[in-house]
Structure 1
Amino acid sequence: MSRLQVVSGKGGTGKTTVAAALALALATEGKRTLLVEVEGRQGIAQLFETEALPYEERKIAVAPGGGEVYALAIDPELALLDYLQMFYKLGSAGRALKKLGAIDFATTVAPGLRDVLLTGKACEAVRRKDKSGRFAYDYVVMDAPPTGRITRFLNVNDEVAGLAKIGPIHNQAQAVMRVLKSPETAVHLVTLLEEMPVQETADGIAELRSARLPVGRIIVNMVRPEVLDAAELELVRTVPRTAVAQSLSAAGLGGARRGGHAERLVDPLLRQAEEYGERYALEHEQRAVLAELDLPSHELPLLTEGMDLAGLYELAAELREQGMS
């Protein structure tokens, strides 16, 4: 497994949930994982049922086997102060810049700078080592921007390195891209078995590959259980209404005579079966599209009772069982 796991996906596919579950899965058996949020939505704090994350690495969960999950919500302004201190030793001058609004001005006027700071902070966590020479974290998982923005977000340092030919900015941008374009990084895309998310996933993979960014795996989220198979659906389409009513009656759901309780259930039941058949066909069609992308894929179930902390651990266990740890 690559040490930097980037999770993207179309809005509404549950990429933040998948990123959190992946961080838990990777932290199993005593590992340390850092879960990084870059969009300022505090979605990670909500999932782990904790208070809003500050701009500092904080332990938020313990994984099976004693592993630990830390989380960090990256603030672009504070990341810029870190950057200025690291390369220019500004100290109190940097704090004065923040008070004057220069930090906000810089990140607003140069939107690309914001992405440089966000990716740079995550890559710093990947490279960081303790005094004994061991990596501070075994894995860093980034809850990244949506699929439509992910390639430009990750590739921004390439653009900066091209604009700044020399100096610390150039060197920093090159160091970040060495991580992002190496086997140390894997970009996973989260999708649903629906036409628009699958198409956006295919487009995102093509863009990532064109930018020579390492594509990881496809994670199909919120997969509903298969109630009927193709043969059973065909039987439903051909079975006479009277046979359905008789079966309902035999099951104790009223008489089969017209106007009886069982008779009244036939049409709603057949409509429901028809709707299920349409969804079944669509999902199998989208699975075929995903298979053509020639990437490893994983499926996570739809949790019918909603997403809570217990559900997050359930999804992490699913990912471990499917080899994502």
Structure 2
Amino acid sequence: MSARDRDWDGVRLHVVTGKGGTGKTTLAASLALALASGGKKVLLVEVEGRQGIAQLFRCPALPYEERRVATAVGGGDVHALAVDAEAALLDYLEMFYGMRRAGQALTRFGVVDFATTIAPGMRDVLLTGKATEAVRRRARTRKDRGARRDTAKAPFVYDAVVLDAPPTGRIAQFLNVNAEVAGLARVGPIRNHADRVMEVIRSPETRVHFVTILEEMPVQECLDGIAQVSEVGLGIGGIMVNMVRDPLLPPGALAAAAEQHVDTEALAQGLKSAGLKDAGQLAGALSGELVEHARRVRMEAEVRERLNEAARPCYELPLITGDLDLPGLHRLAGVLREQGAA
């Protein structure tokens, strides 16, 4: 696939989910860098309160404020926002009721924490609402301010928004929570807010991407998540397969090693010729590692076939050893661009 091919033309909200340990936040950040390439402006949103984005970009903990964290290839910018449910609630109260001061008083008494604890869906409403607001937001010039002008034709503030979403196990519930709220609140600001959020989430401009690794449990959870998200009527994007390692042997040798057919004696002779001591003992240890490697490659091929059955674009990202730094994120972003995912 050439870099000119784009699987998600017209998509502006990219929701990234995955099982814990698959590198979900890493690939969300890499996707944001890929989408920002060529002079675009992208917002990367975190909703789990882990400050994972700040750690990846080696910057101070993110406040409830949009800040630039990186420059992409070609001069584009990635901004980041760590959404806090309490701060989002204050925005909500001010937007619909003009009650920011009252909301601040409620937070001092712990009412907000109490409300989101007894009604967990309320927290998801606030988090998804902030992300979709960023998708809809349009630029306003000084001339626009104070004047009643139609800004529908104004450019969007962000060319795309990438949402580092909760894990796959609860992604469908997280994204569909506003539909449930809309069903409970028949009229009023809450219903209007829920409708606007779901209008964005259900639109062709939104896609849910799944991160996995080539292991049985993460792949099964990925496939289950795709089925659940499809069931509630949301758009599926791509499958990003992380931490892919290249085989160390040609196919024939791998097939033989997987069946424990390793010529240990020939291996020992080669090691001895290379001047290594204890060649026989070392050859025995290496034979065991070769068998393990070959069986892992075979298992990965089997689960890769299962992913292909989902009939979604798959993008394979290499394993980067050691601590992941900004150049590593740019490398992953480049791989995504090369495979048409930006």
Please report the TM-score for the alignment, with normalisation by the length of structure 1. 0.95
Q: Distance in 2 between matches of 1:90 and 1:262?
A: 77
Matching of residue 205 in structure 1 with residue 223 in structure 2: no
Contact 2:18 2:167 in 1 (8 A): yes
Q: Distance in 2 between matches of 1:100 and 1:239?
A: 69
1:85-96 counterparts in 2 under 5 A? 85-96=94-105
Report what 2:239 is aligned to. Answer: 218
Query: SS state of the match for residue 117, structure 1?
Result: helix
Matching of residue 277 in structure 1 with residue 302 in structure 2: no
Q: 2:79 aligns with which of 58, 70, 91?
A: 70
Query: SS state of the match for residue 53, structure 2?
Result: helix
Report what 1:28 is aligned to. Answer: 37
Gaps of 5+ in 2: 1-7, 142-153
1:37-116 counterparts in 2 under 5 A? 37-116=46-125
Q: 1:300 aligns with which of 309, 312, 317?
A: 317
Contact 2:172 2:229 in 1 (8 A): yes
Q: Distance in 1 between matches of 2:316 and 2:157?
A: 30
AA matched with 1:63:
A
| Distance apart, 1:235 and its partner CA | 4.6
AA matched with 1:173:
A
Matching of residue 131 in structure 1 with residue 152 in structure 2: no
Q: 1:227 aligns with which of 202, 225, 248?
A: 248
Matching of residue 289 in structure 1 with residue 298 in structure 2: no
Matching of residue 242 in structure 1 with residue 265 in structure 2: yes
Query: SS state of the match for residue 30, structure 1?
Result: coil
Q: Distance in 2 between matches of 1:76 and 1:241?
A: 60
Query: SS state of the match for residue 203, structure 2?
Result: coil
AA matched with 1:25:
A
AA matched with 1:313:
H
Query: SS state of the match for residue 17, structure 2?
Result: strand
Q: Distance in 2 between matches of 1:110 and 1:275?
A: 48
Q: Distance in 1 between matches of 2:89 and 2:262?
A: 67
CA RMSD across the alignment = 1.3
Structure 2 vs 1, CA of residues 244 and 98 (structure 1 numbering), >3 Å: closer, same or farther? closer
Q: 2:274 aligns with which of 218, 243, 251?
A: 251
Q: Which digits, 9 at most, give the CA deviation of each residue in 1:1-46, with x for residues without a partner?
A: 3100000000000100000011111011110000000000000000
Please report the TM-score for the alignment, with normalisation by the length of structure 2. 0.90
AA matched with 2:297:
Y
Q: Which has the higher mean CA deviation after the structures are superposed, 232-241 or 314-323?
A: 232-241
Q: Which digits, 9 at most, give the CA deviation of each residue in 1:77-126, with x for residues without a partner?
A: 11011011111111422322222322222222211110000000000000
Q: Distance in 1 between matches of 2:246 and 2:264?
A: 26
AA matched with 1:295:
R
Contact 2:91 2:100 in 1 (8 A): no
| Distance apart, 1:322 and its partner CA | 1.1
Contact 2:178 2:194 in 1 (8 A): yes
Query: SS state of the match for residue 220, structure 2?
Result: helix
Report what 1:312 is aligned to. Answer: 329
User: Identity over aligned residues, as a percent?
Assistant: 59
Structure 2 vs 1, CA of residues 23 and 267 (structure 1 numbering), >3 Å: closer, same or farther? same
Q: Which digits, 9 at most, give the CA deviation of each residue in 1:263-305, with x for residues without a partner?
A: 2222111101100011011100110110111100001111123
Q: Distance in 1 between matches of 2:263 and 2:99?
A: 81
Contact 2:262 2:287 in 1 (8 A): no
- The structure with higher relative contact order (CA 8 Å, sep 6+) is 2
Report what 1:170 is aligned to. Answer: 191
| Distance apart, 1:233 and its partner CA | 1.9
| Distance apart, 1:239 and its partner CA | 4.9
